[in-house]
Amino acid sequence: MFREPRRIRAGFACSFILLISLFGSGCATAYVDGALRNVSPEQIRKPSRPQDVQLLFTFQTKGTTNAKVTEALESEVTAAVAASGIFATLGEAPALSGATLHIVINNVPLDDAVFAKGFATGLTFGLVGSAVTDGYICTVDFVSPGGARVTKKLRHAIHTTIGAKGAPANAVKAKNLDEAAHTMTRQVTTAALKELADDPVFK
């Protein structure tokens, strides 16, 4: 007679433990990959006569525009372009010079087994740690008023560990995921702008 309620209770107990283990198995730690050489704005060659430019920025997730993240990182990209000093002024409206700078950062997964790894970490209360790497491809596309076009493409990455997993090699620990995303954006944008400024077509 009491077997059925006991089974229900046991079932819910198992569900509860599973959920706690899934969602409470430890915090994620973010690391910004160290392979991309850190470029400071001072290292960027400045043109003799910087021109105005219209800046457009898009953040994509697997090639699809991610409007929320675009909004979140837009100021970081604008600040990086302004700090580079290779343009006189920049804005969202068409520039008087007619020049356009389009920056796209595309988040591409480098690991398809993300969910399986996270599930294993959750089930073992974090004893089996997991690490996931997100790749970012930054494309800087400059079109000058004369129609000359310069495109530069650079890659960066953020590593995230959950549970008992050591720090990835050659990576810098970030305070949180938000800081990692902003650091990655600043670094990859500045490095791509240096390549743009070094291109002989860009004047």
Partner 1 sequence: MKFVTIGLLVVCSLFAGCASQRIGAHQASIDNIQLLRQSSASGFAVGEFKPAPDAPSPADKVVTVRGSRLTSPSSDSFASYLRDALVVDLEAAGKYDPASALTISGQLTRNTLNAAGFSKADSTLAAKFSVARGGAIVFDKRIEEQQTWDSSFIGAVAIPEAINHYTEMYTKLLHRLFSDEEFRAATGK
- Give the binding site for partner 1 (CB under 8 A): 8-9, 12-13, 15-16, 19, 23, 54, 56-58, 61-62, 64-68, 70-71, 92-94, 100, 102, 115, 141
**Backbone phi and psi for residue 2, each to the nearest 5 degrees, phi listed first:** -90, 0
Polymer length in residues for the chain: 203
- The CA-atom distances, in angstroms, between 17 and each of 25, 27, 124, 164 are 11, 18, 11, 19
Structure tokens at 176: 């949180």
Instruction: Compare residues 103 and 191 and give the one whose CB is closer to partner 1.
Output: 103
Q: How far is the CB of 117 from partner 1 (least distance, A)?
A: 13
Instruction: Compare residues 8 and 167 and give the one whose CB is closer to partner 1.
Output: 8
Structure tokens at 131: 């690490």
Q: How far is the CB of 79 from partner 1 (least distance, A)?
A: 18
Instruction: Compare residues 29 and 106 and give the one whose CB is closer to partner 1.
Output: 106
Instruction: Compare residues 39 and 196 and give the one whose CB is closer to partner 1.
Output: 196
Q: How far is the CB of 14 from partner 1 (least distance, A)?
A: 9
DSSP 17-52: HHHHHHHSS--EEEEEES-SPP--GGGSPPPSS-EE
133, 158 Cβ separation under 8 angstroms: yes
Q: How far is the CB of 94 from partner 1 (least distance, A)?
A: 4
